[in-house]
Structure 1
């Protein structure tokens, strides 16, 4: 499994995971989050490896479709870049403005995750 795809799926899952079914969430968490093999997941759930594969691929497609329509990850990444630029600018230009630096520290763009 390539690292870039794993990172992409984990990011999409952090944004859209709650929109998947419970089984889809479990399979995706095990496969991408905990690096289980398809065979290990199939054994744990007492189903075929093919059934796990089909479910994981269907879930990937759903997550990609959500992002194509909603752009939450894209928007998050853009806002994070802008915030980083603003923070850098403030540190360089206004290093003694503690109020500005505290406000920038308070602004945090983190995806909402289930259970948090």
Structure 2
């Protein structure tokens, strides 16, 4: 997975555990695509200071993921839901029994609802 996307996802999960100004810098850099110089101008610190803070925050995010594993678990759940959707689709398409079709469609609806 591309680093930018992974950092953005980690920020979604753990951003509340970072200092607000640090989370804002990560957000500006990865989600808003601002340069280090643009962030420095907005925050009133040096470009090198912004870079150092972002690197420290990245490290913190990766350490939190290593300890808590929320993003890993989220990905596993999404993959499981995909497998459930696929199986329910096969059941729905391979049976003539209306009751089984209805149950398969209900399973698909629930899984799709959980994916949202």
Q: Which has the higher helix share?
A: 2
Q: Is this a same-fold pair by TM over 0.5?
A: yes
Q: How does 1:59-78 map to 2 (within 5 A)?
A: 59-78=57-76
Give unmatched runs, 5+ long, in structure 1: 111-116
Question: How far, CA to CA, are the matches of 1:55 and 1:19 in structure 2?
Answer: 15
Q: What's the TM-score, normalizing by structure 2?
A: 0.85
Give unmatched runs, 5+ long, in structure 2: 94-100
Instruction: Extract structure 1 runs of 4+ deviating beyond 2 A.
Output: 98-108
Task: State the Cα deviation string for residues 49-95 of structure 1 (Å, max 9, x = none).
Answer: 11101110000000000000001011110111011011111011135
Q: Which has the higher contact order (CA 8 A, sep 6+)?
A: 1
Number of positions where the alignment pairs a residue of Structure 1 with one of Structure 2: 107
CA RMSD between the two structures: 1.5
Q: What's the TM-score, normalizing by structure 1?
A: 0.85
Question: How far, CA to CA, are the matches of 2:30 and 2:107 in structure 1?
Answer: 39
